């Protein structure tokens, strides 16, 4: 008998936990890694020009310092699944929290450029771990009926982290008199911006002690009774616990042996489903979303906006990001994953095309003409809104759901690593591309947004409402 056939017998698909608030707390605590991911990814936005000035470096070198954290992210993402399978999801979260804390202190007090780059790699490794463990853990503890909404907590935490980092940066910039290198607490303002991440990093570590281990991991190490307790806690006592445990164990007979070689097959090295996961990850990044979070202050300053206003626009963009994410959380289990992705692709293509048009005009007295300036600003917000209500949430939810049990851990690690490599490619190339042709750069992002539409239509299958044991 297959695990798909057993799913209705346990009642897992329609399970209703007695204490939904507790399940929400568990998901939110796990998603705190997403908050750190968002905060760390975006906080560098406030330090870019200060780093350029302090170390007297050009666009290419600056891009490598900003983007090098993403190499650490790719390594962390690629190894997190195996680490979590060996020592547990919670221990993995705690390791990430410690690395986040160390990275924040080191980044705030660098004595050389290479030193700053090293601490960014350490923080990147922690982000990569959190990017895999968060959605995987939430998918494993969430009742199927709520999994899409709870899975979207990861992206919600990311966008809140982005917004808080921009608000903190804006406040610190004002406190230092509008100068990123102005003195605050005995160091330069940008150093304080990077050091503030110690606070959420410690909170993440503390919250990891307040949530239970994944039932699937507990079953993999023989702790059946504890797994039963947690399943009753998160899925409801009315389910048939014996059938549910048997269902998961049957699915895990191959899952716990998941390795890279399990992903191989088909005509092009990887199995087709793995390529779909990689494609989702790459398209999510190749539309240029992280340019909006790593470089937006620099971007607006390059077209004539003063530094304080550029920080404020970065903050308003991050608020729009939150609004879009809330919309996605409301509709991801109602409308489905594919329709949201398609809606987002169309909206992103329009927003990016308008930005490309606006940036094609020459600056007048160091600024874009008024019409083009406002068009660029509004289009940037439109782009972020449509990304947030679609690809920002949908990709993380689907990567936690779409792979068969046999390959889930390894496939999720590969897809997340591909996402970080794509993120690095966009982040490292933007300063040089912008120096070459800012409008042309946005044309490239527009093309990828448009290409994501046929990709979703042809290759992406809906996962709404299915239990993890039904994915193969």
Q: pLDDT tens across 195-223, in order? A: 999 999 999 999 999 998 988 888 888 88
Residue 6: its pLDDT value, please? 40
Alpha carbons 101 and 115: distance in angstroms, whole number:
16
Mapped onto helix, strand or coil, the DSSP state of residue 267 is: strand
The answer to whether 193 touches 47, Cβ cutoff 8 Å, is yes
Alpha carbons 35 and 252: distance in angstroms, whole number:
30
Among 108-122, 295-309, 347-361, 418-432, the minimum mean pLDDT is found in 295-309
Alpha carbons 331 and 129: distance in angstroms, whole number:
28
The answer to whether 155 touches 131, Cβ cutoff 8 Å, is no
CA–centroid distance for 260 within its chain:
23
Residue 259: its pLDDT value, please? 66
Identify the band that residue 193 occupies on the pLDDT scale cut at 50, 70 and 90: very high
- Show the tokens assigned to 111: 């004595």
Residue 15: its pLDDT value, please? 54
- Residue 185: count of CB within 10 angstroms of its CB: 11
User: How large is the average pLDDT for residues 145-167?
Assistant: 83
Element (H, E) at 184: strand 183-184
Identify the band that residue 323 occupies on the pLDDT scale cut at 50, 70 and 90: very high
DSSP code of 65?
Answer: H
Nearest to 149 by CA among 348, 462, 470, 396: 396
User: How large is the average pLDDT for residues 81-97?
Assistant: 90
Identify the band that residue 33 occupies on the pLDDT scale cut at 50, 70 and 90: confident
Identify the band that residue 467 occupies on the pLDDT scale cut at 50, 70 and 90: low
pLDDT above 70 for 10? no
Element (H, E) at 178: none
Residue 4: its pLDDT value, please? 41
Burial 142-173 (b: 16+ CB within 10 A, else e): bbbbbbbbbbbbbbbbbbbbbbbbbbbbbebb
pLDDT above 50 for 7? no
- Show the tokens assigned to 193: 């911006």
pLDDT above 80 for 20? no
User: How large is the average pLDDT for residues 347-354?
Assistant: 97
Exposed, middle or buried: residue 361 (CB in 10 Å: 0-12, 13-18, 19+)?
Answer: middle
The label of the residue with tokens 């269902």 reads: 247
Residue-wise pLDDT for 116-131, tens only, equals: 999 999 999 998 898 7
User: How large is the average pLDDT for residues 355-366?
Assistant: 88
pLDDT above 60 for 12? no
Element (H, E) at 266: strand 264-268
Q: What share of the chain has pLDDT > 90, as a percent? A: 28
pLDDT above 70 for 469? no
Residue 5: its pLDDT value, please? 41
How many residues belong to the chain?
472
Report the predicted TM-score, pTM, of the whole model to 2 decimal places. 0.76
Exposed, middle or buried: residue 186 (CB in 10 Å: 0-12, 13-18, 19+)?
Answer: exposed
Cα pseudo-dihedral 48, 392, 97, 315, rounded to 10 = 40
User: How large is the average pLDDT for residues 375-379?
Assistant: 90
The answer to whether 62 touches 431, Cβ cutoff 8 Å, is yes
Identify the band that residue 411 occupies on the pLDDT scale cut at 50, 70 and 90: confident
Identify the band that residue 1 occupies on the pLDDT scale cut at 50, 70 and 90: very low
Residue 457: its pLDDT value, please? 93
Among 111-120, 267-276, 317-326, 379-388, the minimum mean pLDDT is found in 267-276
pLDDT above 80 for 302? no
Residue with the bigger pLDDT between 27 and 263: it is 27
Mapped onto helix, strand or coil, the DSSP state of residue 72 is: helix
User: How large is the average pLDDT for residues 434-458?
Assistant: 94
Backbone φ and ψ for 144, nearest 5 degrees, come out as -50, -35
306 Cβ partners below 8 Å, 6+ apart?
none
Beta bridge pairs of residue 268: 270
The answer to whether 394 touches 344, Cβ cutoff 8 Å, is yes
Mapped onto helix, strand or coil, the DSSP state of residue 223 is: coil
Report how far apart, in Å, the C-alpha atoms of 349 and of each of 247, 305, 422, 450 are: 43, 25, 19, 6
The answer to whether 57 touches 68, Cβ cutoff 8 Å, is no
Identify the band that residue 14 occupies on the pLDDT scale cut at 50, 70 and 90: low
Alpha carbons 131 and 140: distance in angstroms, whole number:
15
Cα pseudo-dihedral 90, 127, 149, 162, rounded to 10 = 130
The answer to whether 92 touches 84, Cβ cutoff 8 Å, is yes
Alpha carbons 218 and 177: distance in angstroms, whole number:
53
Q: What is the mean pLDDT of the chain?
A: 84
Residue with the bigger pLDDT between 349 and 52: it is 349
pLDDT above 90 for 248? no
The answer to whether 70 touches 420, Cβ cutoff 8 Å, is yes
pLDDT above 80 for 280? yes
Element (H, E) at 118: helix 113-141
Residue 381: its pLDDT value, please? 93
- Show the tokens assigned to 168: 């903190």
């Amino acid at each position: 008998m297959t695990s798909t056939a057993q799913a209705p017998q346990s009642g897992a698909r329609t399970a209703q936990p007695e204490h939904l608030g507790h399940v929400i707390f568990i998901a939110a605590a796990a998603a705190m890694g997403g908050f750190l991911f968002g905060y760390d990814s975006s906080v560098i936005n406030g330090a870019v020009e200060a780093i350029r000035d302090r170390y007297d470096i050009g666009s290419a070198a600056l891009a490598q310092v900003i983007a090098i954290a993403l190499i650490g992210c790719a390594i962390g993402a690629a190894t997190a699944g195996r680490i979590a399978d060996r020592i547990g999801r919670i221990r993995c979260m705690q390791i990430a929290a410690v690395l986040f804390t160390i990275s924040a202190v080191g980044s705030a007090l660098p004595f050389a450029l290479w030193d700053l780059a090293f601490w960014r790699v350490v923080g990147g490794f922690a982000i990569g771990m959190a990017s895999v463990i968060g959605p995987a853990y939430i998918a494993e503890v969430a009742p199927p009926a709520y999994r899409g909404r709870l899975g979207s907590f990861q992206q919600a935490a990311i966008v809140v982290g982005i917004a808080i980092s921009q608000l903190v940066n804006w406040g610190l910039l004002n406190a230092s008199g509008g100068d990123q290198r102005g003195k605050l607490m005995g160091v330069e303002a940008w150093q304080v911006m990077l050091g503030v991440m110690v606070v959420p990093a410690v909170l993440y570590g503390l919250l990891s002690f307040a949530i239970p281990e994944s039932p699937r991991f507990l079953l993999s190490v023989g702790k059946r009774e504890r797994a039963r307790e947690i399943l009753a806690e998160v899925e409801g006592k009315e389910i048939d616990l014996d059938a549910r445990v048997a269902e998961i164990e049957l699915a895990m007979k191959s899952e716990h042996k998941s390795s890279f070689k399990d992903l191989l097959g088909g005509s092009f090295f990887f199995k087709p489903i793995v390529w779909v996961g990689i494609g989702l990850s790459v398209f999510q990044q190749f539309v240029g979303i992280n340019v909006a979070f790593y470089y937006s202050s620099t971007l607006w300053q390059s077209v004539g906006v003063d530094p304080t206003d550029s920080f404020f626009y970065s903050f308003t963009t991050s608020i729009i990001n939150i609004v879009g994410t809330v919309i996605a959380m409301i509709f991801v289990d109602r409308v489905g994953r594919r329709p949201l992705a398609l809606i987002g692709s169309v909206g992103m293509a329009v927003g990016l095309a308008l930005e490309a048009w606006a940036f094609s005009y020459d600056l007048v007295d160091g600024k874009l003409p008024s019409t083009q300036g406002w068009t660029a600003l509004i289009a940037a917000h439109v782009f972020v809104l449509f990304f947030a209500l679609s690809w920002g949430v949908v990709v993380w939810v689907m990567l936690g759901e779409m792979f068969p049990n046999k390959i889930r851990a390894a496939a999720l690690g590969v897809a997340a690593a591909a996402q970080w490599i794509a993120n690095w490619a966009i982040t490292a190339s933007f300063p040089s591309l912008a120096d070459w042709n800012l409008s042309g750069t946005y044309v490239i992002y527009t093309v990828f947004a448009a290409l994501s539409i046929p990709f979703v239509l042809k290759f992406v299958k809906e996962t709404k409402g299915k239990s993890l044991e039904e994915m193969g």
